[in-house]
Amino acid sequence: MTKSPNRKTQIIGCVLALFTLSCGSATAVAAQDQSGEIQIHRLEIVTEVSAITYKEPGLMEESGAMVGIGGSYTYRKGIMLQAEGVFKYGQVDYDGSTQSGTPVTANGIDNYLFEVRVTGGYDFLVSTTTITPYIGLGHRYLSDNADTIPNGYQRESNYLYSPIGITTKTALENGWFWGVTVEYDVFWSGVQKSYLSDVDSRIDDVENDQHKGYGFRASIVFQNSTFLIEPFFRYWKIEDSDAAFITALGTPIAIGIEPDNNSTEIGLKAAYIF
């Protein structure tokens, strides 16, 4: 019996089909580059501010603000290649409960987020709009330093994913452009490390592998040749992890999972272009 393709394979196939259709328009966009309307080499210094909320439904919630700095390099001449990275810091407030149901709250928990991405695609013209379908690879790292909570501990989250999306760019007046980006993030794998030794030095730290989930992004951008401003929305939904043994001095004492969770980030990105 022939198996039907899974959702990840179908999404990637659709994007590759868009790339094939766009190749015929690459020459027209390259000519536009040579006229100076599109930068072939582009660097950006980026700042971001955002509000982030992380939830494990029925168990706990963290929310707070983050600020970040980063940069990107983009090459485009028909083909588009981009490398980008951002580092963010913030403090979140915790609202949850112990296993016995006792409410637990805490404020000012340090969070660190680091993300790098490489993407590639093709530019093609539809009337006065440049449309760029793209695909790539990304890594997201988040450190949640909740060891300040009673019976709390530091957690590290690592996601490996492929961004797949479309971005547009339409000319306005006086050298300004506007556009939209819509992106689906194919989640390949994740590792959640919990530093349980923060609770009791006799308990060993544990790692849980994650395999199922997805991400989504959307934004609107306004820019000229020097400045860019971009309100954005980012979302992750990750399902229950694999189970792993919790050990004390090397002896298994329990089995633990990283529960189903989601995170939402709404913010504003600003960049200086050169």
pLDDT tens digits for range 219-269: 999 999 999 999 999 999 999 999 999 999 989 999 999 999 999 999 999
Residue 229 in domain: yes
4-45 confidence digits (pLDDT tens): 456 555 555 555 554 444 444 444 443 343 334 567 999 999
Query: Which comes out higher in pLDDT, residue 1 or 17?
Result: 17
Residue 104 in domain: no
* Predicted TM-score of the model (pTM): 0.85
Residue 59 in domain: no
Residue 65 in domain: no
Query: Looking at the 3D structure of the chain, how many domains does it have?
Result: 1
93-111 confidence digits (pLDDT tens): 999 876 667 788 999 999 9
Domain span including residue 251: 7-40+119-273
Residue 97 in domain: no
Half-sphere exposure (Cβ direction) of 174: Cα atoms closer than 13 Å? 2
Helix (H) or strand (E) holding 30: helix 26-34
Residue 98 in domain: no
Report the pLDDT averaged over residues 188-211.
95
Contacts of 198 (CB under 8 A, 6+ apart): 147, 152, 153, 154
Whether the pLDDT of residue 70 is over 70: the answer is yes
Report the pLDDT averaged over residues 42-60.
96
Give me the pLDDT at residue 103, please. Answer: 86
Give me the pLDDT at residue 30, please. Answer: 39
Query: Which comes out higher in pLDDT, residue 163 or 10?
Result: 163
Residue 21 in domain: yes
Alpha carbon 96 to its chain centroid, in Å, reads 25
Backbone angle region of 212, left / alpha / beta, with phi > 0 → left and psi within -120 to 50 → alpha:
beta
105-137 confidence digits (pLDDT tens): 999 999 999 999 999 999 999 988 999 999 999
What is the Cα Rg of the chain in Å? 22
Residue 22 in domain: yes
Give 211-255 as a 3 state SS string. CCEEEEEEEEEEECCCEEEEEEEEEEEECCCCCEEEEECCEEEEE
Give me the pLDDT at residue 25, please. Answer: 41
Give me the pLDDT at residue 149, please. Answer: 79
